[in-house]
Every structure is written in structure tokens, then in C-alpha cells.
Chain A
């Protein structure tokens, strides 16, 4: 059957993407946790699969693979599924798992989850009011309403991440910015850390011994009767516990210091490793890329028009691959940093939501980088959205994010060498 033949490569790649999302979930995100609710894994993999398929369809568009009507059909199908997942399925499950974690509401889980979802829909709808994202001739329940709102959220996210990434990537990889960290710096800091731990230990020993003595004396006190016995017991325990609370305060201060020293040591180790990495071949390659992309980003910041559409096509491919990879890495780091065994389900679903919105809006924005002949399909499928608005909105947020990142990194860079001088 002809239909099956043409659609087979598409479906097989979709299954491939699904498998990749599944493996990524199992091996990377959830490698330290047990998967108790398989629905989370399925939802994550489905979101990933359909998002990647959208990119694939753009590539097919440019290459001219499949017939244009089948491409159009798949675009529409994909879009409906993604919107269904991003607006109905994922928010509902996020609400469901959040409610499950709260003990009070656990009995009426479904009811509260539905309530949370309706609140989400209300705010989601309200999002459309301040933005001129639609031409007025669209009805209330059209697909454009949903896409426009998803687009706004996703574009804001993308611009924030791109702005920060544009500034952070050169800063991280370019050796010009790397502070000089020697082994003796690290050793000195580690010695300070261990000294602090020793002080904590000796104070805690005093506390433990005093407490034990008080406990033993307390037993003896119970045997003492009479007026003087009572007075003695009151005064001795009071001075005992006063001393204890004083020492305990010192211990608390020292523990705070030890935590700071630990984090500083980790920071120094990370910088040292980055320096070593920059000397390797991979490091040098990324260093070069850092220079290249920083020039590209500066160019973008000053909004110079590209002179060749074909360069922009290659860049589209690179942008797709690096943004997927970058997003997955960022999501993983974020996940490790904030998740615990209780909240892991909720966080994964939130990440799936962000990922889906990110990919949908990157399709929107990619239209700008695509050669003219290929823009029509995106316009046709997504309806008559005010694309210009999205581009302007992206540029504004990108600028704001990049400038604040520059300020932030400048302050952090300034502070750091002084911190270590004070050792």
C-alpha cells in the first residue's frame, strides 16, 4: 500500500525518538530513583518523540521529502497531539502528583487535580490578553488560540535561556576568563576545611560529655530530697545548660563555615578541571566554538541581517541539534540539583512541559532563519499568527536576559578572586 510506504520512515523515526526519550529518562534522569508510576515515563517519552518529529518535518520540508500534502497532514497531526499533551495531559498529571504529595488532600486526589487543572487553564487563557498575538478574525476555540499562548510561554523561555547561554558559553569555555587555580590553593582550602571540622568535633565532644554528666547527675539528684537538694539541682542544671547553649551556638557558626568552605572547594576543583579540559583537543575545539558563537551572538544583539540564506539553513541544523542537546543537559543538571525521591515525578513532568513548549516555539522562531521558500508551510500549518510579534518579543527578552547575565557574571567574576586572596 502506497500510503504505508510513504509514512513508514516517519513512523519508524517517531518510534526511534520515543525509544531515545525512554532510555534518556531511565538512564540519565531517573538513574537513582525507582520508577513507580510508569505513566510519567510514557508522558515524557511521548512529548520528546513528538517534539523531535516536528524538527524532522522541517528538515523534510527543506529536503523536499514526501509529498507536500502528506507533509501537511503530518504537521497537523503532530501539532494536535503535542497541544493535547502540553495543555491537557501534562498539566493534569503535574497537578495530580503535587496533590498526591500533600497529605491533607490525598483522599480526594482526582477532584483536587481537576481543580488545579482548571486554575491552570484560566491563567493560560488570560495570558492571551496583554499580547497582540492573533489577528481578530479567529474564533474562540480555534487551534491558533492555543498555539499562540503556548508560543508566548515557550518563546519567553527560549529567549531567557538563549540570552543566558549566549553570555555563559563563551565565559565558561574561553580560557581568557578562567581564573588561575593552583593545586596549593586547593590544598590550603581543604586544610582549612578539615581544621574547621576538627574544631566542630572537639566542641561536640564537650557537649556530649557534659550532657552525659548532667544526665547521670540528674539521676543522682532525684535521690536528693529536701529544700537544699532542690536548690542545688536547679542551679547546677541551669549553669550546665547555659554553657551548653553557648557551645552549641559556636558549633552552629562553625558548621555554617564548614559548609561554605566545602562549596568553595568544590568551586575551585571545578575551575581546575575546566582549565585542564581547556588544554585538551576537545577543549580547544569548544574554545574556538565559543569565540565563533560569541561573535554570532554579538551580531544578533545588534540585529544585522544575514547576507546568505544558505548559511542560515546550515545554522538551522546546528541550532536544532545543539539546542536539543543543550536543553537535555540543562534539564538533567537542574533535575539532579532540585529533585528528591518525593518530588521527582512532579519535576520530570514540569521538565517535559518546558521541553514541549520550548520545541514548539523554536519551530515558530525558526521560521525566521529558514529560507523564504520554506516558510510557507509553517505559516500554513500554524495559521495566521502574528509572527513578527514573536520575533520582536524574542529579541526583547533575549536582550534583557543577555544584559542581565553579563551583569551577573561580571559581579561574580569580580568577587571570586578577592575571596581567595583573603585566605
Chain B
């Protein structure tokens, strides 16, 4: 029986207002179940996933992964943006979620990722960015990114290749892996599918970055008291 190790903190950033499916996605990732009654996310909701690092190898360890779903439906006012910035502290990985049936949601991703990555640029946490995309910034970005497109089942067959090409360009821009799925159907993430493999790889990368490479830039003022216990206990 494995008992869990220290926690790994990670955030989900949103791409725009409600309806993308982040809450359903988080529920699917953490509970392996479909969310029955999705509703508006106010503020931020957290869920925890138990992840087996390097599953199947002798170095297998169990970690907790916190998925912070930063809700996007409350509005775009700068007061909301400043408050959201509170949640961007000590991010170890970012999952960018966009709606495959809505092109504009993927366009907004640039803005959101900049908001999350540039959290230290202003003292009050208010980020002003016109969404100018800088490829270099993403190339040398230390935080692992994952791109997930939702509502895959709602795309008609003839449009699928077009959508997949578009998301391929996106994932190149962000230097990230991509997964396209439908949050109401757990078979997309069933064990053994390529999606499940990509997901595991992403989480493993996050855990590696956090625990097996020293990265002092992850700690910021607010989180000083959240200094983690580095003992990862695992007894077989």
C-alpha cells in the first residue's frame, strides 16, 4: 500500500467565460467520473488527483496533484483579474483548456497563458497584456504546459481534420502536448489510450520539475508559509 508523498501544486487556467468545460474536465481527471450537474464556477475550485509517478517501474511513488480550476465566468473587469492573480502563485504546471467548437476560445488562450506566466510582473497582480505572442517566451518557459480541447464529440465528422490541424498549430505555438476529448465520456482517458499516456507523461514531468530539479523561482512571498515537506514517504 502506498501512502502519498508531498503535494504538487498545479493550476488550470481558463480561456474565457463559462461553458468551456473545465469543471467537468477536472472532475474527470480527479474522480474518474463524469460530472453530473456542472454549474458556473465562481472564483476558484480545487480538486485533488492521486498520481502514480513512474507507474509500473521500481521507482514508483505516489503523489497528490492539486488541480486549481480558476473560473472564468465572473467577468473581465480588472478587479476580477487582480483577484484571480492571487491563485497564480507557485504554479508547477498549466493546463490550457479551450472549446473545440469555438475558435475564439483558443485565441484567448494566448492572453490567459501570459496572464498566468507573468504573474510577477506587477506588484498588485494586475496584468495588462494585449496578447502579443512571443514564441521565445514559450520556448524557454520552465513551466510545463498541456493543451486540452473539449467538446470533441460535438464537431461533425467532416470538420474534424480541419479542427485537428488548427489545434496542432496551437500546441506548436505553446510548445505543449495536446489532447482532444469529450468530458462527458470517460473512454477518451481510458487506461492504455494515447491520451492517457500523454496525460501521465505530463503529470510526471510536472512532478519531476517540482521535486527532482531545484527551482527556487517557484517560491514567492505569499507562499513562504506553504513550504512543503520534502519527505516523500512510500512504503510498499
A267 — which chain B residues lie within 8 A by C-beta? 79
Q: A32-B104, A33-B104 are in contact. Are A337 and B66 (CB under 8 A)?
A: no
Task: Determine the distance from Cα of A127 to Cα of B99 in the docked complex, in whole angstroms.
Answer: 43
Residues of A within 8 Å of B79, CB to CB, are 266-267, 269-270, 272-273
Contact at A194–B222, with CB atoms within 8 Å?
Answer: yes
- Report B78-89 CB contacts with A as 1/0, cut-off 8 Å: 111011001100
A31 contacts partner chain B, Cβ-Cβ < 8 Å = yes
Known contacts being A34-B103, A216-B1, A341-B99, is A336 close to B42, with CB within 8 Å?
A: no
B46 at the interface (CB under 8 A from A): yes
- Given A32-B16, A266-B79, A269-B82, answer yes or no on A204-B104 (Cβ-Cβ < 8 Å): no
* A229-269 interface bits toward B, Cβ cutoff 8 Å, 1 = contact, 0 = none: 00000000000000000000000000100110111011101
Which of the 9-residue segments A206-214, A307-315, A355-363, A374-382 touches chain B? A206-214
Partner of A258 from B3, B44, B82, B108 at Cβ < 8 Å: B44
| B45 contacts the other chain (CB 8 A) | yes
Cα A263 to Cα B84 with chains together (Å): 11
A318 at the interface (CB under 8 A from B): no
Smallest CB separation, A140 vs chain B (Å): 46
Contact B18 A208 (CB under 8 A): no
CB-defined contacts of B80 to chain A, threshold 8 Å? 266, 269
A259 to B39, CA, bound (A): 13
Q: Are B50 and A265 in contact (CB under 8 A)?
A: no
Q: Are A208 and B44 closer than 8 Å at their CB atoms?
A: no
What's the least CB distance linking B159 to chain A, in Å? 13
Q: Which residues of chain B come closer than 8 Å to A193, judged between CB atoms?
A: 43, 86
Q: Which of B1, B46, B76, B105 contacts A204 (CB 8 A)?
A: B46
**Given A208-B30, A266-B83, A342-B19: A32 in contact with B105 (beta carbons within 8 A):** yes
Q: Using Cβ atoms and an 8 Å threshold, which residues of chain B touch A216?
A: 1
Q: What are the interface flags for B21-39 relative to A under an 8 Å C-beta threshold, 1 for contact and 0 otherwise?
A: 0000000001000000000
Other-chain contact of A201, B18, B43, B66, B74 (Cβ < 8 Å): B66
A388 at the interface (CB under 8 A from B): no
Query: Cβ of B83 and Cβ of A209 under 8 Å apart?
Result: no
User: Is B226's CB within 8 Å of the partner chain A?
Assistant: yes
A224 at interface, CB cutoff 8 A = no
User: Given the complex of chains A and B, what is the CA–CA distance between A214 and B189 in angstroms?
Assistant: 22
Residues on the B chain within 8 Å of A337, using CB:
75
Does B64 interact with chain A (Cβ within 8 Å)? yes
Quick one: given A32-B105, A336-B17, are A209 and B4 in contact (CB under 8 Å)?
yes
For A34, give its contact among B75, B77, B104 (CB under 8 Å): B104
Complex: chain B residue closest to A272, CB-CB:
B79
Interface size on B, residues (CB 8 A): 41
Given contacts A259-B42, A265-B83, A340-B17, are A208 and B50 in contact (CB under 8 A)? yes
Map CB proximity to A onto B91-117 as digits: 1 under 8 Å, 0 otherwise. 000000001011111001000000000
Cβ of B47 under 8 Å from chain A: yes
**Residues A262 and B83 in contact in the complex (CB < 8 Å), given A201-B46, A209-B4, A216-B1:** yes
Residue of B nearest to A204 (CB): B48
B209, CB-defined interface residue at 8 Å:
no
Report A-chain residues with C-beta under 8 Å of the C-beta of B74: 266
A86 to B163, CA, bound (A): 38
Q: Whole-angstrom distance between the alpha carbons of A262 and B101 in the complex?
A: 30
Complex Cα distance, B226 from A352, in Å, reads: 51
User: CB of B61 within 8 A of chain A?
Assistant: no
For B76, list chain A residues within 8 Å (CB).
336
Query: Please, which residues of chain A bring their CB within 8 A of the CB of B50?
Result: 208-209, 212
| A213 touching B104 in the complex, CB below 8 Å, given contacts A273-B79, A341-B99 | no
Q: How far is the CA of A118 from the CA of B110 in the complex (A)?
A: 47
Chain A residues with CB below 8 A from B49, complex form: 208
A205 contacts the other chain (Cβ, under 8 Å)? yes
Question: Which A residues touch B16, using CB under 8 A?
Answer: 32
Instruction: Please name all residues of chain B whose beta carbon is closer than 8 Å to the beta carbon of A191 when the two chains form the complex.
Output: 222
Q: What are 27 A-B residue pairs whose CB atoms fall within 8 Å in the complex?
A: A32-B104, A32-B108, A33-B104, A34-B101, A194-B86, A197-B46, A197-B68, A198-B226, A204-B46, A205-B4, A209-B3, A209-B50, A212-B50, A258-B44, A259-B43, A263-B43, A266-B80, A267-B79, A269-B80, A269-B82, A272-B79, A336-B75, A340-B17, A340-B18, A340-B19, A341-B102, A342-B19
For the complex of A and B, the 9 pairs showing the least CB-CB separation, nearest first, are: A262-B43, A269-B79, A270-B79, A204-B48, A341-B19, A259-B42, A340-B19, A32-B16, A265-B83
B residues at A contact (CB < 8 Å): 1, 3-4, 7, 16-19, 30, 42-50, 64, 66, 68, 74-80, 82-83, 86-87, 99, 101-105, 108, 222, 226
Since A208-B30, A208-B49 are in contact, a sample of 11 more A-B pairs with Cβ atoms closer than 8 Å, ordered by chain A residue number, is A201-B46, A201-B66, A204-B46, A207-B48, A262-B44, A269-B80, A269-B82, A336-B17, A336-B75, A340-B18, A340-B19
